[in-house]
C-alpha cells in the first residue's frame, strides 16, 4: 500500500507543477512588432488595399474521404436495387441456395449475379459444388458487392480452420447390457 501512495504523491506533485507552469504570468518571448510604414506623401500614389488570400488548407482524412466519395451524380438517389456477384475460387460449377430456394448456378467463367432490393436484409447463402465442402456465407444488401468464395476439396477438409475429426461409429457410448467402468 505504501508504494501506491508514494506513486500517487508523485503524480499529484507533477500535476501541481504542470498547473503552476501553465498558469504563471510569464509569457514566452514574443517577436517585436514590425515598425509601422511611413505615412505616404502627396507625391506617391497609394495602391488599393489587397485582401489577404486565405492560407491553403492541407487535406485531412475527412476532406480526402469526402472528395473521394464525390462523383458527378453524388446528389442522385441510389438505385433501388443492388447487385451481388458470386464467384468460386477455384472456378467450378456449383449451385447457390438461399434457404430452400435455388438462386442460380455459378460456372467456371460465369459468376452468378443476384439482383435484390436495396436494404432488404441479409441473405444467408450456401454454395454447393460437387466433391467440395459446402460453404455458408452471408451477403448484405446495403450496396453492390462481390462475394468471392474459396472452396475446399473434400479430401482436404482437415485444412479448414475449426475442422473436427468425425466421431467413431460408437462414439464411446457402451452397448446396451455392456458393463460400464464408471465408479460410483
81, three cell numbers: 436495387
Task: Please report the beta strands in 99-150, taking only residues with DSSP state E, as ranges in sequence order.
Answer: 101-106, 112-117, 123-129, 135-139, 145-150
Residue 62 pLDDT = 47
Residue 164 pLDDT = 87
- The reply to whether the predicted model has a pTM over 0.75 is no
Residue 177 pLDDT = 72
Task: End-to-end CA distance of the chain: give it in Å, rounded.
Answer: 50
pLDDT digits (tens, 9 = 90+) for 88-116: 999 999 999 999 999 999 998 899 999 99
Residue 22 pLDDT = 61
Residue 118 pLDDT = 94
CA–CA separation, 123 and 137 (whole Å): 8
**150, 147, 149: which is closest to 85 by C-alpha?**
147
| 30: three-class secondary structure by DSSP | coil
Residue 128 pLDDT = 96
CA–CA separation, 145 and 27 (whole Å): 58
Q: Which domains does the chain have, with CATH numbers?
A: 81-159 (2.60.40.4130)
Residue 97 pLDDT = 96
| Residue ranges, the chain, pLDDT below 50 | 61-65
pLDDT digits (tens, 9 = 90+) for 56-71: 555 554 444 455 555 5
Amino acid at each position: 500500500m505504501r508504494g501506491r501512495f508514494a506513486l500517487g504523491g508523485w503524480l499529484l506533485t507533477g500535476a501541481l507543477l504542470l498547473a503552476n507552469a501553465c498558469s504563471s504570468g510569464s509569457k514566452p518571448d514574443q517577436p517585436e512588432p514590425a515598425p509601422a510604414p511611413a505615412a505616404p506623401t502627396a507625391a506617391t500614389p497609394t495602391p488599393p488595399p489587397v485582401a489577404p488570400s486565405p492560407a491553403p488548407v492541407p487535406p485531412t482524412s475527412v476532406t480526402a474521404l469526402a472528395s473521394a466519395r464525390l462523383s458527378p451524380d453524388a446528389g442522385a438517389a441510389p438505385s433501388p436495387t443492388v447487385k451481388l456477384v458470386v464467384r468460386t475460387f477455384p472456378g467450378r460449377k456449383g449451385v447457390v441456395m438461399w434457404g430452400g430456394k435455388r438462386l442460380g448456378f455459378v460456372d467456371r467463367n460465369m459468376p452468378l449475379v443476384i439482383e435484390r432490393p436495396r436494404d432488404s436484409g441479409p441473405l444467408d447463402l450456401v454454395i454447393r459444388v460437387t466433391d467440395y465442402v459446402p460453404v455458408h456465407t452471408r451477403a448484405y444488401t446495403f450496396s453492390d458487392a462481390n462475394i468471392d468464395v474459396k472452396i475446399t476439396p473434400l479430401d482436404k477438409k482437415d485444412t479448414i480452420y475449426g475442422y473436427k475429426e468425425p466421431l467413431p461409429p460408437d462414439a464411446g457410448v457402451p452397448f446396451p447390457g455392456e458393463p460400464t467402468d464408471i465408479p460410483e
